[in-house]
Chains A and B, each alone.
Chain A
Amino acid sequence: MDINPILLLAALMVASTPILLAAIGELVVERAGVLNLGVEGMMIVGAVCGYIAGHSSGNPYFGFVGAACAGAVVSLVFAVLTQFLLTNQVATGLGLTMFGLGLSSLIGQDAVGSPDLTVAKLSFPILSDIPVLGPILFRHDLMVYLSIVIVAGVWAFLKYSRAGLILRAVGENHEAAHALGYNVRRVRVFAILFGGACAGLAGAYISLVRVPQWIDGITAGAGWIALAIVVFASWKPWRLIAGAYLFGGVTVLQLNLQAEGLKIPVEYLSMAPYLATIIVLVMIRAGRAPASLGKPFHPSS
């Protein structure tokens, strides 16, 4: 067997980025007390829209912006349904996923890509040339670093900013937040939009960097993994990185093992990342969920 550990670790960061992006968005949504199970649907709409926007404009970053917008627009449907029409969040989220899968398939029917479109790898002076650490940490594309910056930003926002405090308050006890005069629905709509934009970015990362092409069902359950990782991380931003990198790591490892032609049926290897996530979820005791998570709220009392 000759799997290069440096390449493996470098690939791990790339493989983890879409899950991390989707999960950090969902984390903010859930901290605001909303359970949006439509991550997979928002991701795949982001993937197809990002692919089309990137390839038709010739600029991959334009693709990411388009994907974020597309994800946010899809999440707006969820926001209107659950926050204003008070539909059940679980059912609406599941519906959003199925809607997104179908919609992306429709949009992507004639999507044409050009082989020249690539997302540039960055190179940092000195840092990128450090042996071992350089290739693992400092030779990735912008989105890998952006995902970590978003995680750090969300952490600081929740911990230090007043808006973050209000968002947590809304997720903890929406009745009390309302009684204190905070606009629960507005906070939640913004959180849902942020979650949608992050899911869109995550999808575009798959279709523009990780795969990179458009095929139906390209997200392959990554949105569900992102949802699981939010619980795994006990709704704490930094722990998301551990969860996402664990899943990404097992994914990359099993791909390498497949390539090595290990004498295990491919199906078992493909199962491995999902299995690993489930096992870890069962083993760790998840922290306390936001107390108002998934509960409907109407500002009439």
Chain B
Amino acid sequence: MKLLELQGLTKAYPGVIANSDVSFDIDKGQIHAVLGENGAGKSTLVKTIYGLVRPDKGQMLLEGAPFAPTDPRSARAAGVAMVFQHFSLFDAMSVAENIALGMENPPKTQDLATQIQAASENYGLPLSPDRIVGDLSAGERQRVEIIRCLLQNPKLLIMDEPTSVLTPQEVDILFGTLRLLASEGTSILYISHKLQEIRALCEHATVLRQGKVVGTFDPREMSNRDMAEMMVGKTLTTPKRAAVTTGQPLLQVSGLSAPSPHQFGTSLKEISFTLHAGEVLGIGGVAGNGQDELVAALSGEIRTSDDMILLEDQGIGADGPNARRALGLCAAPEERNGHAAAPDMSLVENALMTAKTRLSLLKKGFIDWPRSRAFAQEVIARFDVRTPSPETAARALSGGNLQKFVIGREIIQNPRVLVINQPTWGVDAAAAAAIRQALLDLASAGSAVLVISQDLEEVLEITDRFAALNEGTLSQAVPTAGLTMEKIGLMLGGAHDLEVAHA
């Protein structure tokens, strides 16, 4: 039984065709994935269905009847609801007010509160209607959006990249809710580029590339690799590296303890490890176990006593970031916009900010703009950063492109030690492969690389040794070769001592 049929949807913007002759069907109670790289036309497609964009050509049928919403209200009235990628919430307002704003005819405040309670219990999404949205976590905010949609009994629920801000536990809760909804007959259109999730959740998938449908299949019967190649349109190469030749120790961390600068952060407790030249060390762990604090302590944002961190036998624990950069330790934090890069500044300015010391981009205290620009252009060219110009603001770049820029900026400085947190978080498959290859190349050239990642497949793929971070303590590093997911799971669970006892 078909719910929504898309027939030949085409939408062109000046200079770019966002959707070209897109056709596929969504059945009732089906969880249907739309896969695609950044810029493949996924957003335009869902905006068309939700009435924010009108197609140039083509038509849609909802339950067999022509469906051409002129604005989101008419789409909602027809039974289409949408959970946005960047939440469309109002921070200063309560949960109930936020939900009322997304409804055509909201009931009285008291009744609405009751309905919210009921929906949150039915679908396993704990939420209190009186709380102010600004105080909620990312996962709770998404619940507000979902319940706002559910209270209108939608026939079709559109989820646009819903998991990019969620913890693994929150993803599990969300998937449970979506499966329950589908079993009750609600169709779900699930937009994502995360293959793992689509395989776990969806029965049907449509792949978009450059605005066109390039395939429709059952994701449970496709390998990740085949799906990724279909998205990218070319054969992906697994990152390769030259033979590992581990050299002398470059970075020695011993007994590193530091309180977290954040109220709800995790303090570092007695962390010790050694990083050798030519080596990639992976540190895994569930988010919030001290990753941010560890990066801050290594980059110099948190100062410790000098002898806790030795770079080539020189104590640097009390130095700030610029002093460490001068000595050869560069770092790239997790948050691209606002931490690794200043969102409103140009790529040239962003390049200058971390590279000024090592590449001497300052002349007598004045900025050497020609050389800074040349450096930014070199990063853009070598790391295939897609940007109109080096003068473009960092925030205007897609996540993958900005990540390539941020990492390329550090790599071109030729650091002795590179510390990097979540190198491929929220980055599409092609960019992720390029970033991983660049990290391996840096190690092959004799530098040491520390990769902190929650993506365990990534850790297995590119690291030589692996250690688990758990509530601020670090396990012994073990060789990655021969590690299985099960063993890593045990290490992450804090049971590494047991493992050692067995071995």
Residues of A with Cβ closer than 8 Å to B? 162, 165-166, 168-169, 172-173, 175-177, 179-182, 288, 290-291
The answer to whether B90 touches A176, judged by C-beta atoms less than 8 angstroms apart, is yes
Give Cα distance in the complex from A50 to B106, angstroms.
Answer: 42
Q: B106 to chain A: which residues have CB within 8 Å?
A: 162
Give Cα distance in the complex from A164 to B72, angstroms.
Answer: 20
Q: B84 to chain A: which residues have CB within 8 Å?
A: 179
Distance in angstroms from B389 CB to nearest chain A CB is 21
Distance in angstroms from A265 CB to nearest chain B CB is 46
Residue interface bits B84-122, CB-to-A below 8 A is 1, else 0: 100111111100010011100010000000000000000
**In this assembly, does B71 line the interface, its C-beta being within 8 Å of a C-beta of chain A?**
yes
Number of A-B contacts (CB under 8 A): 46
The 6 closest A-B pairs by CB, nearest first: A181-B72, A176-B88, A172-B90, A181-B73, A179-B88, A181-B71
The answer to whether B91 touches A180, judged by C-beta atoms less than 8 angstroms apart, is no
Chain B, 48-93, CB within 8 A of any chain A CB:
51-52, 71-73, 76, 84, 87-93
Main secondary structure of the interface of B (DSSP, over half): loop
Per a CB cutoff under 8 Å, which of A173, A181, A182 touches B89? A173
Q: A162 to chain B: which residues have CB within 8 Å?
A: 100, 106
Q: Can you identify 26 A-B contacts, CB atoms within 8 angstroms?
A: A162-B100, A162-B106, A165-B100, A165-B101, A166-B101, A168-B90, A168-B92, A169-B93, A169-B101, A173-B88, A173-B90, A173-B91, A176-B88, A176-B90, A177-B88, A177-B90, A179-B88, A180-B72, A180-B88, A180-B102, A181-B71, A181-B73, A181-B76, A182-B101, A288-B92, A291-B92
Residues of B with Cβ closer than 8 Å to A? 51-52, 71-73, 76, 84, 87-93, 97, 100-102, 106
Q: B97 to chain A: which residues have CB within 8 Å?
A: 165
Q: B101 to chain A: which residues have CB within 8 Å?
A: 165-166, 169, 177, 180, 182
The answer to whether A175 touches B92, judged by C-beta atoms less than 8 angstroms apart, is no
Known contacts A162-B100, A179-B72, A291-B91, then 18 further A-B pairs from the complex at CB < 8 Å, ordered by chain A residue? A162-B106, A166-B101, A168-B93, A169-B93, A172-B91, A172-B92, A173-B88, A173-B90, A175-B88, A176-B87, A176-B90, A177-B101, A179-B84, A180-B88, A181-B51, A181-B72, A290-B92, A291-B92
Distance in angstroms from A104 CB to nearest chain B CB is 37
Give Cα distance in the complex from A173 to B91, angstroms.
Answer: 8
Q: A177 to chain B: which residues have CB within 8 Å?
A: 88, 90, 101
Q: A165 to chain B: which residues have CB within 8 Å?
A: 97, 100-101
A179-B52, A180-B101, A180-B102 as given contacts; A169 in contact with B90, CB under 8 Å? yes
